[in-house]
Amino acid sequence: MKIKIIGTATTKFGELWDKSLEDLLREAVDGALRNANLEPKQIEAVFVANKAAGSYENQHHLNALVSQFFPHHPPAIRVEAACASGGLGIVTAEHALLADQYKTVLVVGVEKMSDLSASETTFILAGAADNTREYGSTFPALYALLAQSYEAKFGSQREYLSAVAVKNHRHALTNPQAQFHKEITAQQVAQSQLIADPLRLLDCSPISDGASAVILTTKQVSHKPQILGYGHAQDSLDLAGRSSLTTLAATTQAVEQALKKAKIKRSQLQVAEVHDCFTIAEILAIEDLGFFPKGQGGQATLDGETTIGGKIVINPSGGLKACGHPVGATGVKQIAFLAEQIQKGTYQYALAHNVGGSGATAVVHILGAS
């Protein structure tokens, strides 16, 4: 059974003051239906990926909210896995398709974050960690601990971290949906405000609103991108339980699963959208996904190996850093973006990497042209 991506749509990502959560959902859903040239009633089930509408908007029951966009009220499920909500939303849809419960389904990821203050957002996002054991932890603090561990093992990372941010901002210039269309310099990154040592403001992905939707089908269609394989792995929620602080084991496990299912070799991958919630996360990702040896991801980035003309293009959309990171939407947007690139003929094989928390959940998808 082959799963093909027959429709995609992504809203602009950014501080979208005049768009509500529902506006974003409608825009993505309508856009995907138009892109697929489908009638609403052809969608048999809906999967909604979202992290925190309950906290941000006091909006629960998102599955029902989205189901009512369709006149026939298809069955709908909401999936939450912190920043991996999108990727896991796709996985949930895949399970339903592979079990032949449905033939054509829609997955939409959404997050509306800008209505609250930055510090309130920090508090809400910190819920992605174990809030009873890690009192006082924030996302930046957790990734800062990972960055510190990485630095202790492989030496100072400042120029490498900055190189990730600079590259992703440059990539975003050609992505109309990206939150930022502004180049930054390594010096600007290195001099931006310290958030949690050594991570600075420009090492961190922004607070963003946005939505993205994809329509998946197991029906016979030609010339549409296909999901060749996926992997889904977990690790301990808190850092104390990890076997290593310089590797996200969930990533390494998920990518092996995906490659095995897809039956392709790693070297065939030409492009990857990876989870750069912080610059250090991209360096860990490109190593843990096996593109570069452990400890060399930073140098590879600095040497231009992860941009166009290099070994593998990482985050051509601008990544979470420059395209933006509406938490629940990111995993779906990665799939949508890569599917669009494959449809255009830019790439043949692509990988999407979506992480929840500080590495507790990892979802990897491999897409290919059919």
Binders in 146-205 for another protein, by CB under 8 A: 147-149, 152, 193-199
Largest CA distance in the chain: 58
Residues in the chain: 370
Stretch 125-144 residues interacting with another protein (CB under 8 A): 126, 132-138, 140-141, 144
**Has 60 been annotated as catalytic?**
no
Q: Which of 27-35, 114-122, 205-213, 284-292 is the region at the interface with another protein (rule: CB under 8 A)?
A: 114-122
Closer Cβ to another protein, 119 or 220, answer by number: 119
What does the H/E/C string look like for the chain?
Answer: CCEEEEEEEECCCECCCCCCHHHHHHHHHHHHHHHHCCCHHHCCEEEEECCCHHHHCCCCCHHHHHHCCCCCCCCEEEECECECHHHHHHHHHHHHHHCCCCCEEEEEEEECCCCCCHHHHHHHHHHHCCCCCCCCCCHHHHHHHHHHHHHHHHCCCHHHHHHHHHHHHHHHCCCCCCCCCCCCCHHHHHHCCEEECCEEHHHECCCCEEEEEEEEECCCCCCCCEEEEEEEEECCCCHHHCCCCCCCHHHHHHHHHHHHHHCCCHHHCCEEECCCCEHHHHHHHHHHCCCCCCCCHHHHHHCCCCCCCCCCEECCCCHHHHHCCCHHHHHHHHHHHHHHHHHHCCCCEEEEEEEECCCCEEEEEEEECC
Whether residue 325 lies in the annotated active site: yes
Stretches 117-125, 155-163, 252-260, 321-329: which one binds another protein (CB under 8 A)? 117-125
Candidate segments 119-127, 180-188, 316-324, 328-336, binder of another protein by CB under 8 A: 119-127
For another protein, the binding residue among 37, 100, 222, 240 (CB under 8 A) is: 240
Considering only 145, 186, 221, 302, the residue that binds another protein (CB under 8 A) is 145
Residues of span 291-330 touching another protein by CB under 8 A? none
Residue 201 or residue 302: which is nearer to another protein going by CB?
A: 201
Angle between helices 249-262 and 279-288 (to 10 degrees): 50
> Closest approach of Cβ 136 to another protein, in Å?
4
Residues 16-35 that bind another protein (CB under 8 A): none
Any contact of residue 82 with another protein (CB under 8 A)? no
Residue 113 makes contact with another protein by CB under 8 A: no
Give the residue among 339, 351, 363 at the shortest CA–CA distance from 8. Answer: 339
Q: Shortest distance, CB of residue 290 to another protein, whole angstroms?
A: 25
Q: Is 106 a residue that touches another protein (CB under 8 A)?
A: no
Q: How far is the CB of 140 from another protein (least distance, A)?
A: 7
Of the candidates 169, 275, 325, 353, the residue annotated as catalytic is: 325
Residue 120 in the binding site for another protein (CB under 8 A) = yes
Q: What is the size of the binding site for another protein (CB under 8 A)?
A: 33
83, 204, 277, 323: the active-site residue: 83
| 245 lies in the binding site for another protein (CB under 8 A) | yes
Q: Please pick, from the candidates 20, 55, 122, 192, the single residue that binds another protein as defined by CB under 8 A.
A: 122
The residues that touch another protein, with contacts defined as CB under 8 A, are 118-120, 122-123, 126, 132-138, 140-141, 144-145, 147-149, 152, 193-199, 238-241, 245
Which residues participate in catalysis according to the annotation? 83, 325
